[in-house]
Amino acid sequence: MQIADRMRRKIEEALAPAQLEIIDDSHRHAGHAGHDGRGESHFRVLIVSEAFAGKSRVERQRLVYDLLAAELKDRVHALSLTTRTPGETEKAGG
């Protein structure tokens, strides 16, 4: 199973997101630290979930990092997170 697929499954099971986008940016980091040529090392992730309600930005990120601990130990070198509740997404205009 691909790294992105594993991340998607874990996030969906744990956070039941209203919106989830996982973008593999590995190709943009060729030659940089953490890029070994295999890909799936650098990701941008948008998660919109009610599970983030009442949590600070740091608490939300820790929650996601804990969910994806195995992937972060394996091949994922960089993970850029945007974490919002559905209400915050509406206020931000989508």
**Domain range annotation of the chain:** 3-25+40-90
**Burial of 49 by CB count in 10 Å (0-12 exposed, 13-18 middle, 19+ buried)?**
buried
Helix axes 57-67, 3-15, angle to 10 degrees: 120
Q: Identify the H or E element spanning 9.
A: helix 3-15
**Residues 55-76 pLDDT 10s:** 999 999 999 999 999 988 887 8
DSSP three-state, residue 19: strand
Whole-model pTM? 0.83
User: Please, what CATH class does the domain formed by 3-25+40-90 belong to?
Assistant: alpha beta
Q: Identify the H or E element spanning 89.
A: helix 86-92
Q: What is the pLDDT of residue 35?
A: 47
